[in-house]
Chains A and B, each alone.
Chain A
Amino acid sequence: MSTERALEGVGGWLDDRFRGAKGFRTLFRKIFPDHWSFLLGEIALYSFIILLLTGTFLTLFFQPSMTEITYHGSYLHLDGVRMSQAYASTLSISFDVRGGLLMRQIHHWAADLFVAAILVHMLRIFFTGAFRKPREVNWLIGITLFTLALVEGLFGYSLPDDLLSGAGLRITAGVLQSVPVVGTYLEFFLFGGPYPGNDIIPRMYILHVLVIPGLLLALITAHLFLMFHQKHTQMPGKGRTDQNVVGAPLYPYFLAKTGAFFFFTFAAVALASTFAQINPIWLYGPYNPVGISSGSQPDFYMGFLEGSLRIMPAWQTVIFGHTIAWNVFIPALLPLGLIMTGAALWPFLEQWITGDRREHHVLDRPRNAPTRTAIGMTTIAFYGVLWLEGANDVLADHFDIPLYTTTIVARYAVFLVPIAAYIITKRICLGLQRKDLNLLEHGVETGIIRQLPSGEFIEETRPVTEEARAVLMSRHEPLSLPAATASDASDASEDEEAVPAPDMRGGIGKVRERLNKVLNESVPMTGGHGDGYGAPHGNGAPHGNGHDAALGNGHGDNAPAAVPATGDHDTQPGS
């Protein structure tokens, strides 16, 4: 009955020509797992769509020209002031085009949201291990998207040619100049001659409205296609395995949900643009290379670069008649390079360290990968310190701290806070693992105290639910690396041929083994009440420090550890 309805008319017409019935049926039933954190990528996607829509509107009115004109427009404070056409047309969009101000502000807010959503989305991917095989390529695409988004944002907010963004361009020029050997050439080629020239706005414009959005669109398409093709990851839970996807079908559930979410995103950005002014360029005034305002802050996503420039000590080398401006070159490239390169290499590094080349579709809970989580928090701390330092003048002003003190503190904090973040995060993760084990072994505290006939008081517990149990048990013992040396191997099991695995020989093998121990540090799944490390258990003979005894150094198969049995806990009451 409904078959006829679905296939008559347009549907039938289309299917006669394209044969889509089977494919679309499969598509309709494609399963989308649910978790709030899966919405982060959607926010980024929808911000991008909003950017395309509002951006197209803005191009209808914006004039990307640095030709100087004398302004006689609606904004009377600047009447008679000389300014570029870019700036004048931005004023005109704001004050002479109905809805123009709204579109400008939505565009700007959506850009900030776009970058912010990408950032948080990336963190989600990292912390849950969603970058693991088979999704490494999509992770790399994501990193490229993030980098492009930063450049796109920088170019975008520089286009109005106002005094604030002009300072950003000036810094960009100065940073380019600092590049050894080719720096001045880069600057002159970008700006069409000495800074500021007359070319930079039109050049940034075409990059901003065509080239980079084109790349973004292509990469986003690839990103989504791969996500679609490889199917979505899922959070651990009852019935969820690496061999299935559990959730609601695309049609109608996901379509309706994601449609609603698009509207929410648009509503949030529209309301922000209504009630929270952003980038009031008319207050900054048109650009000139002589003026600047204090408290110049770039958009938030450039803040960490700004902070990194601020904390850098004044290092410079003059060698063979050439100047190397470490004070600019290092802070401009190193932090971003470190984070991006580190992020790009991490999936492969982790694979190499763990020897885990299996497909992973069930996500890790961050606590179950303590070292990875700690490294993520280290990165956040590093980024965060630089970002705060990027606003150190604001902080100094608001909290009455001497300005230089903030910078001096940041110079130390940029090293110390990440280290502290690493240690603290790891402790928290291990603590949460113990808590999970405790829940599994002893159940949930009910708060009911009972007196036993013997007079002893006990608290009743009840076992965790099936669903919770599945989540708690989602942690697996790590794979073991191939045996490093013959002696090690014979130590542990007799069926190992005493041939060292080729990967594990030599210095690199040693490094890998060390890294493996650090990366796999976890509370043992079996044995004891979460008393941590060192308790040798099973038949794996601990080699070396007891710290690592729990790390699956047995060379046999390392099947996911058995459930901590409840039987051996004679102290457990009421079960």
Chain B
Amino acid sequence: MSEFNAGGLPREEGPPRPDDRPAELPDGLMADDPAVSDAPAGPHRVIGTPPPAEARTMLGLGDPGGPGAEPAVQRELPADPPDLDRAKRAERVVAACFIVSMLAGIGFIVAYLAFQVHSVTAALHSNLALGTAMGITFLALGVGATIWVRQLMPDVELTEARKPLASAAADRQAFAETFNEGADASQFAKRPLVRRTLIAATLPAVLAPVLLLRDLGPLPRKSLDFTVWRKGLRLIAYGSNRPLRPEDFDSPGGMITVVPEGFQDDFDALAKAAVIIIKFAPGELQAPTVLNWTVNGIVAYSKICTHVGCPAALYEQTTHHILCPCHQSTFDAPRGAAVIFGPATRPLPQLPITTNAQGYLVAQSDFNEPVGPSYWERS
């Protein structure tokens, strides 16, 4: 059938298909088919492809059937498909599809009742059962409906005339006059005082919704410039919340994430204050790393990537590269976390650290520059 074939692709070569030929249609159809029965050309039914010359009006255009005694509508769609045996077979297939769909629908109900959830495995089993049932329900409906359209409904191709979209000149003229009449009657054009004060009146009202959005949040002011780090605040390991001593790092190695003590659950603070510390062998750390800010080869950098603020969480021990997994900005850990690849523009800021009287790692101060992504007010 041609429903899905009627577009830009050339139709397959070959003998004309039976349903293109009115002469082979069942008798019942021919009677009211003007193309076949030489009936006076009335409203027009076209089976197959109409001759291009006759782009004929079919719908709601012009004179709908005339004033006279003609029936309101002439039959345009055949009542039956050409091959009734084939249709009979299609009917059974369609019905079978719908029965499958119904059974699957019942299966969905059963699965809902039978499969309980409350654990990962149970939820996955329930998902499998419900999803399969639902999928088959809709799939069978879709298949059935498609076969119905393509095999049971008689193939038809109608042509509808397309009106130009622009209105007729007279209509436009009438519209313009009506519009102008209204404008005149409203006195809007004639009385500038009314017009201007009306416009003036709406302006503050329009601004009000914008104004109302002001309290969506506080102004940033200087808050992006600082973190919660301050002199003497202990570095604690993220996760275990354990304060750290330099001796805990017996050998150079991996990177651990630390947070300021007391802020381990404060997301707003951590979003800027998360820090990574890495232990280096003596002599490995080089400028521009500030050695006065390190303790026994332990250096602390902001974990917040200077690109768009993802945690720079990957560390390659052999090359000492810190990599941000979001956009792959790469920082050279022994050299002040300078950028060696990627879109970040600035090194990860270094946190000045030292040890306190008890030998724990503490901050000497806040970072001496803003951490995280660049922003307009940052100098």
Contact = CB atoms under 8 A, between A and B. Distances in A.
Interface of A: 3, 22, 25-26, 29-31, 33-38, 68, 74-76, 82, 94-102, 105, 134, 167, 170-171, 173-175, 177-185, 187-197, 199, 230-231, 234-239, 241-249, 252-253, 256-257, 259-264, 266-267, 270-271, 273-275, 282, 288-296, 306, 309-316, 318, 321-325, 327-328, 331, 359, 361, 363, 365, 392-393, 403-404, 407, 444, 464-465, 467-468, 470-472
A21 to B, nearest CB: 10
Contacts of B159: 31, 239, 244-246
Contacts, number: 373
A261 B4 CA distance: 13
Contacts of B313: 291-292, 294
B118 A96 contact: yes
B236 to A, nearest CB: 12
Given A264-B146, A324-B376, 15 more contacts: A22-B60, A33-B6, A34-B6, A37-B7, A101-B117, A191-B217, A197-B268, A248-B158, A260-B142, A264-B142, A266-B138, A267-B136, A274-B132, A290-B270, A309-B308
A102 B124 CA distance: 9
Contacts of A292: 310-311, 313, 325-326
Interface residues of B, number: 109
B260 to A, nearest CB: 12
B160 interface: yes
Interface in B270-307: 270-272, 274, 303, 307
Interface stretch (B149-157, B174-182, B360-368): B149-157
Given A246-B158, A257-B146, A322 B379 contact: yes
B127 A256 contact: no
A183 B308 CA distance: 13
Contacts of A257: 3, 145-146, 149
B7 A237 contact: yes
A360 B207 CA distance: 42
Contacts of A170: 271, 308-310
28 contacts: A25-B73, A35-B4, A35-B6, A35-B8, A101-B124, A101-B127, A102-B130, A134-B165, A171-B309, A174-B372, A185-B220, A188-B216, A190-B216, A193-B268, A195-B271, A241-B52, A243-B55, A243-B161, A245-B162, A246-B6, A246-B157, A248-B3, A249-B158, A253-B153, A264-B146, A290-B274, A309-B307, A309-B308
A249 B68 CA distance: 26
B377 A184 contact: yes
Contacts of A289: 267, 270-271, 274, 311
Nearest to B51: A239
B163 to A, nearest CB: 9
Interface string B107-121: 000001001111110
Contacts of A33: 6-7
Contacts of B378: 322-323
B328 interface: yes
Contacts of B112: 98-99
B224 interface: yes
Contact of B49 (A36, A306, A324, A467): A467
Nearest to A66: B267
B141 A327 contact: no
Interface in B144-199: 144-146, 148-149, 153, 156-162, 164-165
Contact of B134 (A252, A270, A472): A270
A196 B267 contact: yes
B13 A465 contact: yes
Contact of A102 (B134, B272, B376): B134
Residue among B143, B268, B274, B372 with the highest chain A CB neighbour number at 10 A: B268
Contacts of B139: 263-264, 267, 271
Contacts of B4: 34-36
A249 B379 contact: no
Interface string B315-336: 0000000000111111000000
Interface in B42-57: 49-52, 55
Given A237-B6, A314-B339, A325-B374, A261 B142 contact: yes
Contacts of B219: 185, 188
Contacts of A184: 220, 224, 375-377
Contacts of B132: 271, 274
B128 interface: yes
A547 B225 CA distance: 61
Contacts of A38: 7
Given A167-B310, A327-B344, A244 B49 contact: no
B145 A260 contact: yes
Contacts of B11: 465, 467-468
Nearest to A248: B156
Given A263-B142, A274-B128, A404-B341, A95 B119 contact: yes
Given A99-B126, A235-B7, A306 B160 contact: no
Contact of B146 (A36, A230, A260): A260
Nearest to B119: A74
A270 B138 contact: yes
Contacts of B339: 314
Given A29-B59, A270-B135, A294-B325, A196 B49 contact: no
B257 interface: yes
Contacts of B309: 170-171, 173-174, 177, 195
B28 interface: no
Interface in B32-48: none
Contacts of B8: 35, 235-237, 363, 365, 471
A295 B310 CA distance: 13
Contacts of A134: 165
Interface string B49-92: 11110010011100000000000110011000000000000000
A258 to B, nearest CB: 9
